[in-house]
A and B are shown apart, each in its own frame.
Chain A
Amino acid sequence: DVVMTQTPVSLPVSLGGQASISCRSSQSLVHSNGNTYLHWYLQKPGQSPQLLIYRVSNRFSGVPDRFSGSGSGTDFTLKISRVEPEDLGDYYCLQSTHFPQTFGGGTKLELK
Chain B
Amino acid sequence: EVKLLESGGGLVQPGGSMRLSCAASGFTFTDFYMNWIRQPAGKAPEWLGFIRNKANGYTTEYNPSVKGRFTISRDNTQNMLYLQMNTLRAEDTATYYCARQPGPFDYWGQGVMVTVSS
Interface residues of A (CB under 8 A from B): 37, 39, 41, 47-51, 54-55, 60, 92, 94, 96, 99-106
CB-nearest residue of chain B relative to A38? B104
Residues on B with beta carbons closer than 8 Å to the beta carbon of A51: 104-107
Which 3 residue pairs spanning A and B have beta carbons closest together? A39-B104, A48-B108, A100-B63
Tell me the count of chain B residues lying within 8 A, CB to CB, of chain A: 20
> Distance in Å from the Cβ of A10 to the closest Cβ of chain B?
13
A49 to B45, CA, bound (A): 9
Q: Known: A48-B110, A101-B47. Is A54-B104 also a contact (CB below 8 A)?
A: yes
Residues on B with beta carbons closer than 8 Å to the beta carbon of A103: 44-47
Of B46, B103, B108, the contact of A96 (CB 8 Å cutoff)? B103
CB-nearest residue of chain B relative to A61? B106
Residues on A with beta carbons closer than 8 Å to the beta carbon of B110: 47-48
Contact A99 B61 (CB under 8 A): yes
